[in-house]
Structure 1
């Protein structure tokens, strides 16, 4: 009985001391689950300089020389070149810019006339200085462009393979150009584009030799399709928003 009495007293003492011990330890802090890190959506900035290269094809109109035989005008010619420019992003939706471009051309255009005279233009290249206006949605940019165009012509007239002196009435070296395209930022600092561009250098007539004076006017023009890549010097890279 003595042992039972002592055990009962000990349990009572422990029970009385427990609340005081809990008070000494302090209340346990409530548990909060850590919120997931916020990852902001990237902001795409088109403003800045860029430089790049392109490849594609060029096609001349078939109606040169009033419908006479136009040789390989309608056949595609390979082109490749470079471009440099600057874009300004006016707001999240609209972009304006200025671009200079030059494309080297393969092949030639020309016509063979009744009587044996032949005209050939080994057109070496196409250049342009254009403004462009675009609509942007994040990494994408849909744009139109237009401005000055230049044709690097290397013309000749031959008879039986022998060069013949000739003259024309019009300047078909300087002209105008329009185009449209789609550009997309596929990585920081890098964008790719595909575009159609039309070049027109006006009409001209032969004033010599006599055998070509009456063949009618001809137009120097080119339809081109190009695919290119640009490096945008950091301004075109996605920038994480700060909060």
Structure 2
């Protein structure tokens, strides 16, 4: 499965999960015999709000030295936080809603990749990207659903911009050649298309979920001067700097809360509207307990960058990238809502990482005596065998907004992820004369990576009912503190590397459930995790290297679930 397919599938799964529309059914067995007609709501007016979400950006550098054998596309998982302001106009008696909206989002994002690698003789570079903020000015066209018209399905399009810093640094030059870095810091304009669903929770408040694709103008980037190793491994010769362009795009999913001016913040729909929503008792805030099980089919990615010196985290001597980490896991989950609006939720799961691949890159290799033969760039490919994974999450929060058919509030929590990857073969893809896996190795333990990620979660959770039997839940969490610990066993070198780091991340998930009975439901969902370190350390066979390593992790996929609810 390619990364492009994963991106399209996850973006579509998250949007479909959130976008079914929202209404309410609190007691499936108690429906009113007759309720007064309820006037439809009109979306016309000014609104402003906040949003939080996650995204995945891509910055793809062209190679002026030839077609690359690996790399060039930088992945930048992102947490986004921002605000929006807009105006809607809905003609009286029409379900169509027209509007304009402006938004601005701060981004916490970072990524690196190998770039300018046409072969194994030229020492390639490391390209890094750090998107910092993005915004858009768009028009919206929507359609209000149902007799009350409180669910709005909409599309949007318009102008967008991104401020992004892109760096390119030459990798390790045998300890002889100087480090060269170039950078480009630009605000680029482009276009955006998106779609979403917005639900009016009350006359004053609405909740929306939105997916956007943004494409920005290319930016120019100077390439750093580097060097090339002649055939036979003689002393490398300089390669002059050049220039190239970088393509930029971004996929985002965000949850937003809007305040509609003209209505008191505590305004409600009234008892007739609640009856029409089939609510058993408006404002009911008793005990609720839900328990269930899930199956998660996922794909993952782990990357670690090892700098050649402690002075630079992007002048690399080695990088290991574990990709297409196919996971199968089962989990149990529960949520408890109390009469005091406090809720506790969590899940625990375990399973197998069934397959994957690993690229092990090295730069500036020398012979046993530290001299020739020289190798500018080595890249070996390994297939991964089946290994274990497990994870746990616990959150506690408060429903600040709560009423018939909806709950919404902030939470804090804890997440732990433990995974292992095992490479049992090795083949050289860049430098046949490097001496590293130039004769393919099979059925032999090569490298085992065992990692644990622990994080503090700060986020928001929403719970909304659809019609009579459909319910939508989801949350988005920022990880302001992430702690990483790992062990890398290089079996062929009798080398054990102890790893640690601290950083940040983002997690989000959503589920759409169908209630077969008032208590039992089945559902589908989607989940995305990303964590990365901003500082890191390692020790080779117990001896600290004093380098600033960087570690990155992603996992995303679809879920099936069944649950039972106690009221």
TM-score by length of 1: 0.69
Contact 1:194/1:227, CA 8 A, preserved across alignment: yes
Distance 2:60 2:132 in 1: 21
- How large is the Cα RMSD of the aligned pairs? 3.2
- 1:29-84, CA deviations, whole angstroms, 9 ceiling, x for partnerless residues? xxxxxxxxx955133111111011111111124866477425760x6321111111
1:83 matched to 2:84? yes
Cα distance in 1 for partners of 2:160, 2:50 equals: 18
Contact 1:191 1:231 in 2 (8 A): yes
Q: Which residue of 2 aligns with 1:46?
A: 43
1:24-173 matched pairs, under 5 angstroms:
39-61=36-58, 65=62, 68-69=70-71, 73=75, 76-91=77-92, 92-113=94-115, 114=117, 115-137=123-145, 138-160=149-171, 164-165=181-182, 173=188
**Mapped partners of 1:165, 1:72: distance in 2:** 16
1:225 equivalent in alignment to 2:263: no
Residues 16-39 of structure 1 show CA distances to partners (whole Å, capped at 9, x for unaligned) of xxxxxxxxxxxxxxxxxxxxxx95
1:234–1:62 CA distance, 2 compared to 1 (3 A): same
Q: Which deviations, in whole Å up to 9, do the C-alpha atoms of 1:117-157 show, x marking residues without a partner?
A: 22222110110000010011210110000001010122323
Contact 1:124 1:152 in 2 (8 A): yes
Aligned equivalents of 2:61, 2:53: Cα separation in 1: 23
Is the CA contact 2:180–2:225 (under 8 Å) kept in the aligned structure 1? Answer: no
Cα 1:43/1:163, change in 2 over 3 Å? farther
CA contact 2:203–2:263 (8 Å) conserved in 1: no
The aligned residue for residue 190 of structure 1 is 205
Alpha-carbon distance between aligned partners in 1 of 2:263 and 2:45, rounded to the nearest angstrom? 5
Bigger share in strand: 2
Residues 200-239 of structure 1 aligned to structure 2 (within 5 Å): 200-204=215-219, 206-209=221-224, 213=242, 217-234=245-262
* Alpha-carbon distance between aligned partners in 2 of 1:104 and 1:112, rounded to the nearest angstrom: 26
The structure 1 segments of at least 4 consecutive aligned residues displaced by more than 6 Å after TM superposition are 235-240
TM-score, normalized by length of structure 2?
0.32
Residues paired across the two proteins, number: 199
| Structure-2 separation of matches of 1:218 and 1:189 | 44
Between the aligned partners of 1:48 and 1:56, the Cα distance in structure 2 is 25
1:90 to partner: Cα distance: 2.3
Unmatched tracts of structure 1, length 5 or more: 1-37
Relative contact order higher in (CA < 8 Å, ≥ 6 apart): 1
Is this contact kept in 2: 1:87–1:97, CA < 8 A?
yes
Whether the 8 Å contact between 1:42 and 1:239 is mirrored in structure 2 is no
Query: Does the CA-based 8 Å contact 2:60-2:73 persist in structure 1?
Result: no
Over residues 180-233 of structure 1, what are the superposed CA-to-partner deviations in whole Å (9 max), with x where a residue is unaligned? 00001011210000010011013345455466747x653200000111110011
How far apart are the structure 2 equivalents of 1:166 and 1:239?
55
Distance 2:125 2:200 in 1: 51
Cα distance in 2 for residues equivalent to 1:121 and 1:44: 45
The higher radius of gyration belongs to: 1
Higher helix content, 1 or 2: 1
